[in-house]
Structure 1
Amino acid sequence: MKSIYPCIWTNQSAKEAAEFYVSIFPEASIQESNPWVTSWRAGNSKFMLLNGGPEFTPSPTLSFYSEFPEVGSVEKLWEKLVEDGKALMPLGTYPWSEKYGWVQDRYGVSWQLTAHPEAPPYGNYSPAMMFTGRNFGKAEEALNFYTSIVPDSLTKFISRYGEDSPSQTGKINHAQFTLGKQLFVAMDSGLDHGFQFSEGISLVIPCENQDEIDYYWEKLTLRGEEGQCGWLKDQFGVSWQIVPDSLGKLIASPIKGPTVIQAFLKMKKINIEKLTSN
């Protein structure tokens, strides 16, 4: 399995958003662009933006925990991201970081910017899941569920709320875990934020064969729900796309592309043989 990466749903502004991000993040570049999606990369991290329409918007429950080695880098990025956006936690000094801030940008995407002296110049970007509302207290359950499914995964560390936070004591305030090669962050929040996970940001698992598709589909739909075109929601409401790694090339083919798209749109779980036999 190749690295899991996020897909951000936009209202027909995928390329515009990608151009904005590569203009502000260090060592970032657009990888590919077509009428459906635009992909960009910063350092070792891939992001995909989808021209989906107005149906869904990103939620702060899935943000990007982004580490940079210098305070100045965090401050410059904050200025760019908060423009036409909004601060969710003010940029400042916190017990866990000399410089940290949580911002929702103009496209509704949330970034947790933090200074970390050991981060590479291009930054570290980790999808961060916040378990709140009906999901409050489920961060550890989710972490264990995901790491049990994806091979070569592990829990790096777990930090918990102390007795100074009575309503949240013992729950996770910050945990880091890997799913394959990708680092993730998880946290609980007992505050009433009024939002939950949504299709606005999904996590893509690019699969090499049908066996991988079948495996992840079966595991992640357990107490979840199936969607169209390889999309699903797991038991916590997190959206995933279980797709063949070759899907982009198949759709882009000038010969088979249109028939591949028609077959793809009719499927829930993707069947590679049916997708490529047309």
Structure 2
Amino acid sequence: MQKITPCLWFDNQLDDAISFYRTIFKNAGDPQVKRGPDGKAFAATFNLEGQQFMGLNGGPQFKFSEAVSFFVRCKDQAEVDYYWERLLDGGKPQQCGWLKDRFGVSWQIIPDALMRYLNDPDAEKAMRAQAAMMQMVKIDIAALDEAYAG
């Protein structure tokens, strides 16, 4: 059992959010949902790719912000495209591989290549990759490769 579990506060979309995420992440377990007398979800635990989450239908008082986001590591462009297109459905793209999904949750869809390039000991190559990334919305690995190579 993981010691720290993110808890996501939804207005009244917890069931919809869990269903949405379970269609996107292939390794998603069955959620455990606690329902109120009206039959609506009140709280739930669910698992996506080995990461446990809690969810609440807490009401409209609090909204999600970019101050907290979920980083999705992708092995190649096909995986970047897969997560980007699906999580963006009904959401809003943002710069540098970030997006907000239809519920307002922020996600970073980041290829392993970007992390390798940004951590390269050759500072010039790393800076070229970072400059290229700063111009992107969805990360384009081919364009990163080109910028990194110089």
The TM-score, its normalising length taken from structure 1, stands at 0.50
1:257 aligns with 2:126: yes
Q: How many residues align?
A: 145
**1: CA distance between counterparts of 2:72 and 2:4?**
17
1:125 aligns with 2:4: yes
Contact 2:95/2:136 (8 A) holds in 1:
yes
**1: CA distance between counterparts of 2:133 and 2:19?**
32
SS in 1 for 2:4: strand
SS in 1 for 2:95: coil
Runs of at least 5 residues in structure 1 that lack an aligned partner in the other structure: 1-118, 163-168
Match of 1:148 among 23, 30, 33: 23
More helix by share: 2
**2: CA distance between counterparts of 1:127 and 1:171?**
21
Q: For residue 227 of structure 1, what is the aligned residue in structure 2?
A: 94
**2: CA distance between counterparts of 1:229 and 1:219?**
17
Residues 208-253 of structure 1: CA deviation (Å, up to 9, x unaligned): 0000000111001111111000000111111100001232331122
The TM-score, its normalising length taken from structure 2, stands at 0.90
Contact 2:114/2:144 (8 A) holds in 1:
no
Q: Percent identity?
A: 37
More strand by share: 1
- Aligned amino acid, residue 80 of structure 2: I
Runs of at least 5 residues in structure 2 that lack an aligned partner in the other structure: none
SS in 1 for 2:96: coil
**2: CA distance between counterparts of 1:275 and 1:143?**
33
- Aligned amino acid, residue 178 of structure 1: N
**1: CA distance between counterparts of 2:8 and 2:41?**
11
Q: Quick check: which has more Rg, 1 or 2?
A: 1
- Aligned amino acid, residue 146 of structure 2: S
- Shift of residue 184 of structure 1? 1.1
What do you get for the CA RMSD once the two structures are aligned? 1.4
